[in-house]
Amino acid sequence: MRVIAPAKINLHLEVLGLRQDGFHELAMVMQSIDLADSLELTSREDGLISLDCDDPTLSTDGDNLICRAASLLRNRSGGRELGVSIYLKKQIPIGAGLAGGSSDGAAALVALNSFWGLGFALQELEEMGSEIGSDLPFCIKGGTQFCFGRGEKLEPLPSNNNSLAIVLVKDPFVSVSTPWAYGQHKKKFGESYFQTEASFEKRRELLRDEFNWSAISDKGFPVIRNDLQRVVEPCTEAVKKSLEILASMPNSIVSAMSGSGPSCFAIFPDFNSAEKALNQSQNHLTSAGLKAWCCSFKPEGVKIIS
Ligand code: C5P
């Protein structure tokens, strides 16, 4: 069985406050893109779960979200001796703010549910996913979604934005720790966090209005807000450089950092203009040591393809 695990970008990431569980209360808009990892599953009779990867720098031990997803699913199915060999082909850069690890975990849940014939509903898989990481439910469903709560509460946006494309850039030698980025945000801005559910809901309402796609075609694309960019950009040269180059690209609508970074992207009206802008800036990007991709918006999340 082969399953595709797409990356995501953040079209909005707003830290609303601090939750009882120590996580941050978020209001986000996440978007799947067609940069994707793939997982190949083959059966094994000895009841073991094994993972190999074409990227030797990635841990394939029990801490990998694919292994955690497989173990959780097997436990929930009554602890039967279900085995699998998984081979992961990595395309999504690691530690990049693109939810690569979460999407791999999400793909493992969806694929193994079918591979082992467990019959869990999608909603149940999303709930299991949220126990492993805040972004897993989004990665299962994908497309364009509001993500509230820790990031696990989804509300779909009608997707009439499928012609949009991005240029995505990342320094291959730089990664950012997500807990560090949230920790820095709390340190710098924690005192001004909203305190009540009513104030959280007010911000969610404003975001629902702002990302009403039919209004967007009249008003133009919203300026992208990423609160983590406010703490990551000042101390990460690669982010500053990426944003500078992206902003200079012809026909770009808007640019921002994704998630906790360091990857950054610019949005273009269509794939051709993104490709053209990337080609024109390739020398500049290469001399800045940045790797770049041209990607389309994708209307879905993880998908079993064979
Ligand atoms: O849920 P996930 O494992 O992706 O979160 C990684 C880390 O990011 C958490 O341990 C936490 O430090 C931070 N985080 C947070 N609030 C969220 C999501 C993540 O503080 N809503």
Give the model's confidence band at 79: pLDDT under 50 very low, under 70 low, under 90 confident, else very high: confident
- Within 6 A (CB) of ligand 1 lie 23-24, 26, 133-135, 150-151, 178-179, 182
pLDDT of residue 213: 79
Predicted confidence (pLDDT) at residue 187 exceeds the cutoff of 70: yes
pTM of the model: 0.97
Q: Which residue has the tokens 């014939």?
A: 117
Query: Does an H or E element contain 292, and which?
Result: strand 291-296
pLDDT digit string (tens) for 204-217? 999 999 998 777 77
89 in active site: no
Q: Is the peptide bond prior to 158 cis by the omega test (within 30 degrees of 0)?
A: no
Pairing of strands 49-53, 84-89: parallel
Taking alpha carbons only, the member of 158, 168, 203 closest to residue 13 is 203
Distance 15 CA to ligand 1 centre (A): 12
Q: What is the mean pLDDT of residues 117-133?
A: 98
Q: What is the DSSP string of 140-177?
A: HH-SEEEEEETTTEEEE-----TT-EEEEEE-TT----
Q: What is the mean pLDDT of residues 60-84?
A: 94
Do residues 139 and 8 lie in contact, with contact meaning Cβ atoms separated by under 8 Å?
yes
Taking alpha carbons only, the member of 211, 147, 166, 190 closest to residue 22 is 190
Q: Which of 12, 15, 16, 24 should be mutated for ligand 1, with most atoms under 8 A from CB?
A: 24
Tokens describing residue 143 = 């497309």
Predicted confidence (pLDDT) at residue 2 exceeds the cutoff of 90: yes
Q: Which atom of ligand 1 is nearest to the CA of 133?
A: 1
